[in-house]
Structure 1
Amino acid sequence: MSNTEKAYGNKNGHASGRPKAIIVGAGIGGCASAARLTQGGFDVTVLEKNDFAGGRCSTFEGAPNYRFDQGPSLYLLPKLIAESFKDLGTSLDQEGIKLVKCEPNYRIVFPDKESVEMSTDLSRMKKEVERWEGQDGFEGFLGFMKEAHVHYELSYEHVLHRNYTTLASIIRPTLLTQLRLLISVTSTVYTRASRYFKTERMRRAFTFASMYLGMSPFDALGAYNLLQYTEHCEGILYPLGGFSIVPKTLAKIAERNGANFRFNTPVERVIVENGQAKGVITESGEELRADVVLVNADLVWAMGHLYKETSYSKRLEEKPVSCSSISFYWSMNRKIPQLNSHTIFLAEEYRESFDSIFTEHKIPHEPSFYVNVPSRHDASAAPEGKDSVIVLVPVGHISPALPTASDWNRIVDETREKIIGEIERRLDIKDLKKDIINEVVNTPITWSEKFNLHRGSILGLSHSFFNVLSFRPKTRHPSVKNAYFVGASAHPGTGVPIVLAGARLATTQILQDYNLPIPASWEVSSAELATASAKTDSNGLILLALLIALICALVTYARN
């Protein structure tokens, strides 16, 4: 009998055989978790409602030979992604994943047709910043980067590699001493940038990236300026063949270890007996038994649909969520040289456009939007001499303020006209619409239907103060044993590298809960193991944790 079988048998009464895990959803978190759990000794079955792996991190074909990334297109925080493959005993190179650097990172185009190019090249950035900020402007840029670097390192240590299993788990001296640097309810991404940049143009250029989290820079915690750090110091990369190559490769690793992926298999509900998850029932009525159920579907949706509705699941549905989008995928009959790999078009009414999305939950009358041309750095994304173009227009999530389903055709038409008009005007392009030979569109409605996203929110729960760390939904179900979560709305949060970090946390927790050894290649620290295996604390400690968090917030408020 293997050590794994002995350990599992000692805890659960199984004399032999591998423990069984069912993963609901083959998104990036589900694929990574499958690879990790098979490595850790589990017999894994992954059930996916769609006919492809990757979830939002997937690719599809528009017109023949035109490839589009459905969701993520910015390969950021490369160290976290590389860590996932290293833990699994392999590497990006070994798996044949080739990365290309997008230089410049992106071009920001303003309504007056002026533009700024963001780059990892310091000499280039010096010229760009001083063009607007004057001779002393570069000093402000370096100060901003220094602060963002501190936030990056602290977040890597205290957020991305720590599991907050209870509210009281925030009570750790190493975290509390740094809490003010990481979290402030009054210091936002925009206020931090305003300390270092004097022109409105530069403040906008260094704050719009909070949209990667589906948040307004006027609301996002100041620590999220770490996004600008990783862009300028590590660069923006792109995986040749499309972003879906990352989850597909993780799925292949899992299959090499024995995992079974079943596509076109929607799950109806999780079987719960005596307070424990015992498997799932598929929509076809098939019953599949397992010792562990790990849900990679949208957490808020899952709590209300896969599990019995509770007061907790109802409260989750009322929590603030990130934005949605109208996303256009255009197959072009020619190249559009005026468009870089990544081009940002910012609205003149910058704050008003964000308020429209995040406060009023509407479609801005003058939207900021993002254009990605994957064929600029990857020739396989479009036929020779042509381009595939993706336009992401952030809009409010599904709410009474948004149009009903019957209005969406009109809304999409109006939005398309606005976007094409602005691209043509700002970049001096003529007849762009005539060059579109095929179009695919995702709206908040289709995001919701295709991926079961609560309110059509493309990035899950918000990352506001009371939605991070111990306040964010946990990787373990709050009341059902042997039930776990991984994905954008679970700790630590949204985005491909962050969800990969979440897969490491969730699977470490599962192995710890089952007294199974952590694979040596994961190099999990004792602090990580301690937080992964932490049990529920007393009510007194929970109240104390909340009190400390509130005190920290008040101290920050007073100092700012």
Structure 2
Amino acid sequence: MSKPKSVVIVGAGTGGIASAARLAKAGFRVTVVEKNDHTGGRCSLIRDDGHRFDQGPSLLLLPDLFREAFIDLDTTLEAEGVELVKCEPNYNVWFGDGECIELSTDVAKMKTTIERWEGKEGFERYLAWMQEAHVHYEASVVHVLRKNFSTIWAMARPSFLPYLPALHPFESIWNRAARYFRTERLRRAFTFGSMYMGMSPFDAPGTYSLLQYTELAEGIWYPKGGFHVVLDALVRVGERFGVEYRLSTPVAHVNVDGYSKRATGVTLASGEVLNADIVLVNADLVYAYNELLPSSPQASSLSQKPASCSSISFYWSMDKVIPELHTHNVFLADDYKDSFDDIFKRQLIPKEPSFYVNVPSRVDPTAAPTGKDSVVVLVPCGHLLEGGADRGLNPQNAQDWQAMVSKARNAVFDTVRVRTGADLQAHITNEIINTPASWKERFNLDKGAILGLSHSFFNVLSFRPGTKHSDIKSLYFVGASTHPGTGVPIVLAGSKITTGQILDDLGMVKPWSPGTHTRKMVSSLDKEGKVPLDLTRSIVVLLVLFLLALVLYTSR
């Protein structure tokens, strides 16, 4: 019996955890090394005296991709003890003029909301926007999230090319929304979701309306116990297949044989060498190329690519329940466009920031002690600039992070008080903060960009860094900055692509299904039938048209 292939995975983020379980199921001997003392990367938890916070993602989107990952591993979310709670409404969106609108999966509620601001015709336009976003969503899942784009020619394959125009990659989300919504209010309400990709709605390709589509069509979900319970379940599944996790184990560099140009394993910071047939890197891609791999032109090129935004994130333990706030709250700046320009063009915190407030204890009481709330505030801001990045100052744009954190905190207090009446400042018992510098230090994120490389058109598909190194054999990548992109469900899909590529390269069978949707079939009632042709009505219609044409002809 031949010895099983070995793989070392660098990083225990979403991509590393999911890939470890998949490769172990396929028969590999898998070791995961992680610099931090916990798994999950940015999807880890923060705890404070009975309060629990999601450090990164606080809502679960595209639930089918999560279900698929577990089914591929011969289990289910439910079997692993993961309980998903539906958040309703999706969001409360607060505006500077005192108005607040709810976004919901409830079509009746959305009809009332849309018609209130855009009249009776507005709901028809909303449904048309949903139809377009539905195409963006379904086409992306089939032709992007399940396919690799390892060469430029992959974009020309017959199965994908006809769909490209329908994805509207050369128009912004803002311009697409403006075709359907007449008011500035609803254009803003249906475009702020581009921040999931770390991009401005005025720059993000129209394709990404799929994100708000999935919220409205499939709902927003929250894993009871915090987002990390999903990844913790994947860790347990992997361990059942034999995965070994080594936490608090930073990697010094990937070992590359100079003669064969093949990755042979990793050297740990301790000096220990772990040999392997395959190395899969789940660390931040720009960091990996510049710090873990031999110097190369690709490393310099990646460093020059546009990055996503960063965030100043506050985690507040409250001494009471804040009834004015719902589970998911979005506060939009009055000067909407300029606020994004401050982030993406000037790499600062906006003069008047838009921000997101999550109260996990509203949907999951275990997130806070009884009678109290846990509050997470995410204020998008620019990423660290080169030169003065490490010390938080840049002579050109004056990135004074201490001042910007103070500005962000005060802006949140003032905006929430004015728009909702809630006095947050008076009820905070403890504060924990993440800044671009701490994101960088804790998770090795290049420039502190929380969502990796940008997702502009020339940074996706075949233009995005590949899932396999172009020069070094046996070296693969998974994570936010590789294909297909950022976000937990997208990285889960990427894990399936990368591990499938490894198995294909080794001539091994993939022990999971391709992932196509299957209809439920119980009886003959579920068989697809042809649309019946009403012959009599068709003959009558044709006769009427003939007579009408005859009348018009004779009257000339």
Q: What is the alpha-carbon distance in structure 2 between the residues aligned to residue 244 and residue 58 of structure 1? A: 5
Aligned to 1:142: 127
**Structure 2 equivalent of residue 545 of structure 1:** none
> Is residue 255 of structure 2 the alignment partner of residue 256 of structure 1?
no
Output the amino acid matched with 1:199. Answer: T
- Counterpart in the other structure of 2:408: 415
Q: Which residues of 2 match residues 528-543 of structure 1 at below 5 A?
A: none
Distance 1:309 1:365 in 2: 40
Q: What CA distance in whole angstroms lies between the structure 1 residues aligned with 2:377 and 2:515? A: 40
Query: In structure 1, the residue corresponding to 2:32 is in which secondary structure?
Result: strand
Cα deviations by residue, 1:101-148 (Å, 9 ceiling, x for unpaired): 000001000011101100000000011111111111101110100000
| Structure 1 position 226 matched with structure 2 position 217 | no
Deviations 1:137-186 (A, max 9, x none): 1011101000000110100111000011122222201211111112432x
What is the deviation of 1:402? Answer: 8.1
| CA–CA distance in structure 1, aligned partners of residues 514 and 285 of structure 2 | 28
Distance 2:25 2:169 in 1: 39
Calculate percent identity across the aligned residue pairs: 55
CA distance in 2, matches of 1:474, 1:522: 23
Query: Are positions 1:475 and 2:460 aligned together?
Result: no
- The correspondence of residues 269-348 of structure 1 with structure 2, limited to 5 A, is 269-273=253-257, 274-348=260-334
Displacement of 1:401: 9.7
- How do 1:355-504 and structure 2 match up within 5 A? 355-399=341-385, 404-405=391-392, 407-430=400-423, 432-504=424-496
Q: Is the 8 A contact 1:322 1:460 kept in 2?
A: yes
- 1:523 maps to a residue whose letter is P
> Which residue of structure 2 lines up, in the alignment, with residue 555 of structure 1?
none
Gapped regions of structure 2 (runs ≥ 5): 394-399, 517-556
Structure 1 segments, 4+ long, off by >3 Å, are: 400-404
Letter in 1 for 2:53: F
Contact 1:108 1:115 in 2 (8 A): yes
What are the within-5 Å matches in structure 2 for residues 121-140 of structure 1?
Answer: 121-140=106-125
Q: How does 1:96-115 map to 2 (within 5 A)?
A: 96-115=81-100
Secondary structure of residue in 1 paired with 2:43:
coil
What residue number does 1:197 align with? 181
Paired residues of 1:210 and 1:217 also in contact (CA < 8 A): yes
Letter in 2 for 1:155: S
**1:39 to 2:53 alignment:** no
Deviation of 1:523 after TM superposition, in Å, equals 3.4
Contact 1:363/1:402 (8 A) holds in 2: no
TM-score scaled by length of structure 2 = 0.90
Distance between the aligned counterparts of 2:409 and 2:87, measured in 1?
26
Separation of aligned partners in 1, 2:38 and 2:228? 10
Q: CA deviation at 1:207?
A: 0.3
* Matches of 1:97 and 1:29, distance apart in 2: 19
Kept after mapping to 1: 8 A contact 2:344/2:382: yes
The equivalent residue for 1:558 is none
Give the distance between the partners of 1:323 and 1:271, measured in 2 at CA. 32
How big is each residue's C-alpha offset from its partner over 1:363-402, in whole Å with a ceiling of 9 and x where there is no partner? 1110000000110111110000100000000000111598
Contact kept in structure 1, 2:150 and 2:466, CA below 8 Å: yes
SS across alignment from 2:3: coil
1:477 to partner: Cα distance: 0.9
The one-letter amino acid paired with 2:324 is: Q
Match of 2:4 in 1: 18
Q: Give the deviation of 1:411 after TM superposition.
A: 2.3
CA spacing shift, 1:513–1:524, aligned 2, 3 Å: farther
**1:184 is matched by which residue type in structure 2?**
P
User: Aligned to 2:41, what secondary structure does the other structure show?
Assistant: coil
By how many angstroms is 1:23 displaced? 0.3
- CA distance in 1 between partners of 2:14 and 2:147 (Å): 20
Find the partner of 1:238 among 185, 198, 222.
222
Q: 192-201 or 396-405, which moves further after superposition? A: 396-405
Question: Structure 1 321/99 Cα, relative in aligned 2: closer, same or farther at 3 Å?
Answer: same
Instruction: Write the mapping of 1:24-173 to structure 2, written as runs, cut at 5 A.
Output: 24-61=10-47, 63-173=48-158
C-alpha displacement of 1:429: 1.9
Distance in 2 (alpha carbons) for counterparts of 1:319 and 1:350: 26
Q: Conserved in 1, the CA contact under 8 Å of 2:68 and 2:515?
A: no
Q: How many residues align?
A: 507
Give a deviation string over 1:502-534, Cα, whole Å, max 9, x none. Answer: 000000001111111110x33368xxxxxxxxx
Unaligned runs of 5+ in 1: 2-15, 526-560
Q: Structure 1 length as normaliser, TM-score?
A: 0.89
For residues 332 and 183 of structure 1, what CA distance do their matches in structure 2 show?
Answer: 44
Specify the code of the residue in structure 2 equivalent to 1:232: L
Whole-Å Cα distance in 1 between the matches of residues 296 and 387 of structure 2? 27
**Could you give the per-residue CA deviations for residues 437-481 of structure 1, whole angstroms, max 9, x where no partner exists?**
011000000000000001100000111010111000111011110
Post-superposition shift, 1:228? 1.5
Residue 497 of structure 2 is aligned to residue 512 of structure 1: no
Cα distance in structure 2, aligned partners of 1:478 and 1:373 = 44
**Alpha-carbon distance in structure 1 between the residues aligned to 2:235 and 2:308:** 28
User: Alpha-carbon deviation of 1:287?
Assistant: 0.6
Kindly indicate whether the alpha-carbon contact (under 8 Å) linking 1:87 and 1:523 is maintained by their aligned counterparts in 2.
Answer: no
Question: After the TM superposition, which of the residue ranges 508-517 and 407-416 deviates more from structure 2?
Answer: 407-416
2 CA distance for matches of 1:422 and 1:55? 31
Contact 1:362 1:402 in 2 (8 A): no
**Counterpart-to-counterpart distance in 1, 2:402 and 2:232:** 33
The Cα RMSD (Å) is 1.2
- Amino acid of the residue matched to residue 272 of structure 1? V
Kept in 1, the 8 Å contact 2:384–2:392? The answer is no
Q: Deviations over 1:306-337 (max 9, x none)?
A: 10121111011000110000000000000001
Change (3 A) 1:419 1:402: farther
1:418 aligned partner, one-letter code: A
Aligned to 2:397: none
Q: How far, CA to CA, are the matches of 1:70 and 1:242 in structure 2?
A: 10
CA distance in 1, matches of 2:322, 2:474: 52
- In structure 1, what is the Cα distance between the partners aligned to 2:128 and 2:300? 43
The aligned counterpart of 2:527 is none
Q: Secondary structure at the match of 2:160?
A: helix
